[in-house]
Structures are given as structure tokens and as C-alpha cells.
Amino acid sequence: MFTASARSPCPRGSEVTVHARSHDATPVSGGGLDGGKEGASDIARTPGIAGLSDNQFRRLSTYIERELGIRMPPAKRIMLESRLYKRIRLMKLEGFEQYLEYVFDPAQKNGELLHMIDAVTTNKTDFFRESDHFDFLLRRLLPERYGDHWGVRAPFRVWSTASSTGEEPYTLAMVLQEFREQHRDFSYQILGTDISTQVLERGRKAVYTEDRVVPVPEAMQRKYLLRSKDRNSRLVRVKPELRSRVLFHRLNLMDEDFGIRELFEVIFCRNVIIYFDRENQTRLLRKLYRQLRPGGYLFLGHSETLAGMELPVFSVAPTIYRKPE
């Protein structure tokens, strides 16, 4: 059974042991900083606001990589300016010099980092993204390994390490619920973590526009999504039965200790390590390996690989790896 800290209320029927640390910081939401389409940024259109100087960019990029593990090459400079400018405008500051004074003020104790995370992280995600992973889970992993004998086992635990606004963990919940309909003794729990408090809150609410759920098969939409009685509303919500199986918690994948006692049968860490340098990739993957049960599975994104990582796992399908028993 999962048990959550007091700061992370746990939905009924879904408990995870996550022990809070003093700074309470957290992976990237399905990715890190991307190029986006900010272009020349809002700064160029605002008199009196200068762009980041070379020194300011170095300080911020070093800080972001150290705290979040996200690489910040010069090619991301304009995008970083644009996103942080919105934060500067909200704070009514005069420019980047004043903002950096605020960021690096010892009295802040990393408080601004929490807001910077929401400003600069990318939350690209979809229901059933890279759908062959979910096919593997439903049609091969679960039937082959567990069959009809799950009733004597502990709950099947899955960790979505970059859960963003909830599409990935709720996709997992739909797939696991499909298996449960054929195996009534089967029980499951899902942990969804992310670095952004904003996206975690959206995940907990589980409300999406109709266009967001298009990838969900129609049969699953009918079973697992609620539609508004207002015919003009284009919003849907994940049913309580699935919401109760998912715990969302804030976590920093760069932390040395995740504070999670349980081991997982499956860990999804997809489209995350591509934003880290090799050293941080290796460090993260070793920590995730320790959170896997013997025989557990690690899922990476289609553009990611463990080649050269020297992690003691074996490949069972493209970007799917298994820990030895």
C-alpha cells in the first residue's frame, strides 16, 4: 500500500509512501525546455527591458542545470528570455538584473525556483502517446507474467515519473482497468510525479477538453470519461473510479533520495532523459533501477536509449527494459 505525506492528500484507494524533504522540490513535465515559437520574444516589444546578458544567461543556465538537471544550451536563450519575461512582468520587476538579484537572494531559500519551474518547463503530453507501450503492457506484460494468479500478490504498482497534466497516468489507469475487468482479483496503484505544481493540480482535477481525449479509443471514452450535461461544454472528466487509483505528488528527479519506500512493477520515464546530460542521465537511471522490483520493467521514450549506460537490464522490446529476477 502506498502512503502519502501530509502535504500530498491521497485519493481514496490509492496510497503511496512519499516522504517530504525540506526543499520539497521535483522530472521534467514530459520534457524540458523546448524551442517553442517565442521567436524574438516579448522583450523586443517592451521598451526599457533588455534581454539576458551573457553573464546573466550563464548564471541562470548553470542554476537550472544544477537544480533541475535540464541542459540549457545557448540555442535556448531567446526562449528562456521570453518565458522568464512573463514572470518578470507578473512580479512588476524592472528587468533581468533585478530578477536575478531576487532569484539568488539567500533569503529566498530557493522559493523562486518553484515559480521558475512552472515558467520554463514544457508539458508536452497526450493520452496514449507512443501507444505501442500500452499495447505491450496490456497484451504481453500482464497476461504473460501474471495471468490469472494476481489475487495472491500485492497491488501492481506503476510510477509515471513525468506525469505532467495527467494524460499518461490516466492512460495507464485505463489500460490496467481493462485488465482488471478480466481478472477481478487484480489490484493496481499509480504514482504520478512532476516538477510543476501547476500541472500536478490539473492532473488531480482530471478535466480535459474533448480534443485532448481524441486518442482515447471510443469504447474507453464511454467507460472511463464523464461528459458535461451542458451540451455547449466541450469538457470531459476522468471517472472517480480511475482518479482514485492515481496519486499525484511533487518530486525532483535530481534529488538523491526520492523518499519512496515501495518498489514498482513498472516505471514510465519517457521523454525525460533526453533533456539531461550524460552524467545526470546515468545518475537518474540508476536511482530508478533501485525503485524497480526484481523482474520489473522500465519504459523510455522512443527517442531514448540505454546504450552505453551499463545498467543491468535487458531489452524486451524497443525502449522497454526489464530488471533481472
Query: Active-site residue numbers?
Result: 83, 194
Burial of 195 (0-12, 13-18, 19+ CB in 10 A): buried
Q: How far apart are CA 81 and CA 49, in angstroms?
A: 11
Q: How far apart are CA 290 and CA 268, in angstroms?
A: 14
Per DSSP, the three-state class of 103 is helix
> For residue 26, how many other CB atoms are within 10 A of its CB?
25
Residue 11 DSSP label? P
Cβ proximity of 159 and 233 under 8 Å: no
Q: How far apart are CA 120 and CA 29, in angstroms?
A: 10
| Residue with grid cell 521598451, as numbered in its chain | 47
Element (H, E) at 227: strand 225-227
Interhelix angle 111-120/197-205, nearest 10 degrees: 70
Q: What is the dihedral of CA 280, 284, 289, 292, to 10 degrees?
A: -170
Q: How far apart are CA 165 and CA 14, in angstroms?
A: 18
User: β-pairing, 246-250 with 320-322?
Assistant: unpaired
Per DSSP, the three-state class of 237 is strand
